[in-house]
């Protein structure tokens, strides 16, 4: 007998709460339940699209609902919006409970594991009676390791091995306590907004890995200059979303939020604020190297400033730039304080002029809602909506790169889809009559396990360019994956290698490849290596960006957006590009429209 979905139990046991992330998860589970119950396809898609939109929304809607403030989010219609309001206000919804009823909790939990969709999860749960939510992952792993899955019809040994690896990966990542940079931004932004309600705040900044724009964040640290320290501390520890107060002193305090996220506030005197900002931004290696550099000049560095060792005189800094300059260093931006030759370069005034978001002239990896009959997710925004958003962002061009049609379609079927798509888009573009703005039509094409592209060779001519990427068989060995990527890069009209390592931060490890070989081909063929701005990807990682910048590889910063809201994630790609020491000259989509047009056609 299966266990019905108990919303109250699930909420208590699995923090099925009211953050945007948790509410998005709830919407996905509603979609999965509707799918398993064979409900209307468009209703299912509506919930999936709403989940994606809510997860990327920058403001916590629970706070808005609690304060009786209205909200409008693209792809969340009136019906779903009302369900969210009811759930947030009451902590329960009879209609949601009805939709989820009859599906074991463990089915939804297993969908968190890569390669296990709702139908496969339901079958595994019912076949092996996996009804214990506390042990479902470990139970299924044991069953798979005993060889009991491969004998099921439709599974086999390969599928069983894939499930074993996927569960092991999930369990490994689920133990990690660091959150995505975008999540940390959202939390820190809400707390800063709360603190700024007081007029006694003079300065306020985030510290640590958030300020360095590191891809994941542990604790959240905030620095403040205030006219009334006690007032700030009292207001901070009364933050409405705290779970408990860890400590509260006269100039610092700590609170714990749900999911065990710790937030620290530090209050500094105005004259020492720059010193504290530098010290608590880190990272550890950078600070050790800076302290050693200071010692060579006769100074001892601390969070309060510098002490002249010879005469014991203390020197304070209200601005951290003054601290670096005092130590005869070029100012080192927080993004590159990773203990990686930045002090040596700053000493000879040789740090790069890092790229900024305003340098970007267009985004060449955006997904629209045109149905290409792909096996992957469609975008949710129309071309008209994307163009409007791009113009509002100040772009001169965009590239629509929907996923390729499913590989099982015939060459003629794929041609028909691509020609109809181009005709449809050309009509829209013509009707817009926009001067000094261009829409390029591309495809993000899957690199098959054997290195072939999932699109007929003859269909490439219907596209302005190709983006290629890996979406399957991530576990291939290094040699096989390297040959796969190199073979795909040899195809004509390939201009971009997208999200190269295939990693999903905290969810899926990077593929293994000989990046020297792969990116050497990219350099030779003038193919841009993507820095994917999706906060879950941030791929290529900054360590590889810095390494291959020095080898002359060119990069492109794209969002891979599947909705208009996600086009704003470009700032995260720029953050990672900065951490990789990139300038605007290293990034192809800083080019003007005329120059990008020539580059895409291979004429440079």
Summarize pLDDT for 258-296 with one digit per residue, the tens: 778 899 999 999 999 999 999 999 999 999 999 999 999
| pTM of the shown model | 0.82
Q: Which two tokens stand for residue 282?
A: 């880190």
For all residues of the chain together, what is the average pLDDT?
A: 90
Model confidence at 10: pLDDT above 70 = no
**What is the C-alpha separation between 471 and 480, in angstroms, rounded?**
15
Within its chain, how far is the Cα of 347 from the centroid?
34
Would you state the pLDDT for residue 1? 31
What would you report as the CA-atom Rg of the chain, rounded to the nearest whole angstrom?
26
**What is the C-alpha separation between 276 and 278, in angstroms, rounded?**
5
Confidence of residue 422 (pLDDT cuts 50, 70, 90): very high
Summarize pLDDT for 67-103 with one digit per residue, the tens: 788 888 878 888 899 888 888 888 777 788 888 888 8
Secondary element (H or E) of residue 442: strand 438-446
Secondary element (H or E) of residue 170: helix 156-174
**What is the C-alpha separation between 226 and 232, in angstroms, rounded?**
7
Within 10 angstroms of residue 580's Cβ, the number of other Cβ atoms is 25
Q: At 273, give phi and psi (nearest 5°).
A: -65, -40
Would you state the pLDDT for residue 15? 39
Domains and CATH numbers, the chain: 7-174 (1.10.150.110), 179-267 (3.30.460.10), 273-347 (3.30.210.10), 357-600 (3.20.20.140)
For the chain, the farthest-separated pair of C-alpha atoms sits apart, in whole angstroms, at: 83
Q: CB-based contacts of 31: which residues, under 8 Å, 6+ apart?
A: 44, 45, 47, 48, 51
Mark 444-476 as b/e (b = at least 16 C-beta within 10 Å).
bbbbbeebebbbbeebbebbbbbbbbbbeebeb
Residue 453, SS3 per DSSP = strand
Confidence of residue 394 (pLDDT cuts 50, 70, 90): very high
Q: Which two tokens stand for residue 524?
A: 């030779």
Summarize pLDDT for 217-252 with one digit per residue, the tens: 989 999 999 989 999 999 999 998 888 998 999 999
| Percent of the chain predicted with pLDDT > 70 | 96
**What is the C-alpha separation between 183 and 185, in angstroms, rounded?**
5
**What is the C-alpha separation between 569 and 573, in angstroms, rounded?**
7
Q: Is residue 61 within 8 Å of 70, Cβ to Cβ?
A: no
Task: Look at the chain and count its residues.
Answer: 604
Inter-residue long-range contacts of 382-387, CB under 8 Å, 24+ positions, other chains counted: 383/425, 383/428, 383/429, 383/439, 384/428, 384/432, 385/74, 385/564, 386/564, 386/567, 387/428, 387/429, 387/432, 387/434, 387/437, 387/439
Least confident range of 16-25, 130-139, 156-165: 16-25
**What is the C-alpha separation between 418 and 146, in angstroms, rounded?**
46
Would you state the pLDDT for residue 17? 61
3-state secondary structure 143-169: HHHCCCCCCCCCCHHHHHHHHHHHHHH
Summarize pLDDT for 434-490 with one digit per residue, the tens: 888 999 999 999 999 999 999 998 888 889 999 999 998 898 999 999 999 999 999
Would you state the pLDDT for residue 533? 97
Dihedral sign, Cα of residue 171, residue 172, residue 175, residue 178 = negative
Would you state the pLDDT for residue 4? 52
Summarize pLDDT for 310-334 with one digit per residue, the tens: 999 999 999 999 999 999 999 999 9
Quick one: which of 490, 497, 402 has its CA closest to 442? Answer: 402
Q: Is residue 53 within 8 Å of 563, Cβ to Cβ?
A: yes
Summarize pLDDT for 547-596 with one digit per residue, the tens: 999 999 999 999 999 999 899 999 999 999 999 999 999 999 999 999 99
Would you state the pLDDT for residue 133? 84
Summarize pLDDT for 169-182 with one digit per residue, the tens: 888 777 667 889 99
């Amino acid at each position: 007998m299966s266990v019905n979905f108990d919303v109250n139990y699930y909420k208590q046991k699995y923090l099925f709460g009211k953050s945007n992330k948790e509410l998005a998860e709830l919407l996905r589970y509603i979609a999965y339940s509707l799918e398993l119950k064979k409900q209307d396809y468009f209703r299912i898609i509506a919930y999936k699209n709403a989940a994606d939109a809510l997860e990327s929304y920058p403001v916590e809607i629970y706070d808005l609902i609690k304060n009786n403030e209205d909200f409008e989010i693209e792809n969340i219609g009136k019906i779903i919006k009302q369900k969210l309001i009811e759930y947030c206000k009451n902590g329960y919804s009879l209609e949601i409970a009805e939709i989820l009823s009859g599906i074991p909790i463990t089915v939804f939990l297993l969908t968190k594991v890569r390669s296990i969709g709702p139908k496969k999860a339901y079958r595994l749960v019912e076949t092996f009676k996996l009804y214990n939510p506390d042990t479902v992952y470990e139970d299924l792993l044991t069953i798979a390791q005993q060889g009991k899955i491969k004998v099921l019809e439709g599974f086999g040994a390969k599928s069983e091995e894939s499930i074993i690896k996927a569960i092991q990966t999930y369990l490994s990542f689920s133990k990690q306590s660091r959150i995505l940079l975008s999540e940390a931004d959202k939390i820190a932004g809400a707390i800063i907004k709360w603190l700024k309600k007081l007029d006694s705040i003079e300065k306020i900044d985030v510290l640590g890995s958030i300020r360095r724009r590191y891809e994941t964040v542990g604790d959240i640290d905030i620095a403040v200059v205030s006219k009334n320290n006690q007032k700030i501390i009292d207001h901070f520890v009364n933050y409405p979303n705290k779970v408990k107060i860890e400590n509260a002193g006269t100039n610092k305090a700590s609170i714990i939020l749900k999911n065990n996220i710790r937030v620290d506030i530090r209050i500094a005197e105005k004259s020492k604020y720059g010193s504290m900002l530098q010290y608590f931004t880190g990272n550890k290696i950078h600070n050790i190297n800076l302290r050693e550099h200071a010692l060579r000049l006769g100074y001892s560095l601390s969070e309060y400033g510098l002490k002249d060792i010879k005469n014991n005189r203390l020197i304070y800094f209200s601005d951290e730039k003054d601290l670096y300059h005092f130590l005869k260093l070029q100012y080192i931006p927080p993004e590159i304080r990773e203990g990686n030759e930045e002090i040596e370069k700053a000493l000879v005034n040789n740090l790069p002029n890092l790229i900024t978001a305003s340098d970007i002239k267009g985004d060449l990896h955006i997904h629209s809602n045109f149905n290409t009959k792909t096996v992957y997710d469609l975008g949710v925004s129309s071309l008209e909506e994307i163009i409007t958003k791009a113009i509002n962002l100040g772009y001169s061009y965009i590239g629509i790169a929907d996923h390729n049609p499913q590989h099982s379609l015939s060459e003629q079927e794929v041609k028909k889809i691509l020609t109809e798509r181009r005709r449809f888009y050309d009509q829209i573009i013509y009707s817009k009559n926009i001067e000094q703005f261009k829409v390029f039509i591309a495809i993000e094409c899957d690199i098959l396990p054997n290195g072939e592209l999932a699109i007929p060779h003859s269909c490439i001519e219907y596209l302005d360019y190709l983006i290629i990427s890996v979406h399957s068989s991530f576990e291939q060995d290094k040699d096989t994956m390297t040959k796969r990527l190199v073979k795909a890069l040899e195809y004509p009209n390939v201009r971009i290698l997208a999200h190269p390592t295939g990693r999903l931060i905290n969810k899926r490890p990077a593929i293994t490849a000989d990046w020297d070989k792969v990116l050497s081909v990219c350099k030779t063929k003038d193919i841009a290596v993507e820095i994917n701005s999706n906060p879950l990807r941030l791929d290529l990682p900054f360590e590889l960006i810095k390494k291959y910048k020095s080898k002359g590889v060119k990069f492109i910063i794209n969002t891979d957006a599947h909705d208009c809201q996600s086009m704003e994630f470009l700032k995260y790609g720029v953050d990672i590009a900065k951490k990789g020491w990139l300038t605007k000259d290293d990034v192809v989509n800083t080019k003007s429209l005329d120059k990008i047009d020539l580059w895409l056609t291979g004429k440079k």
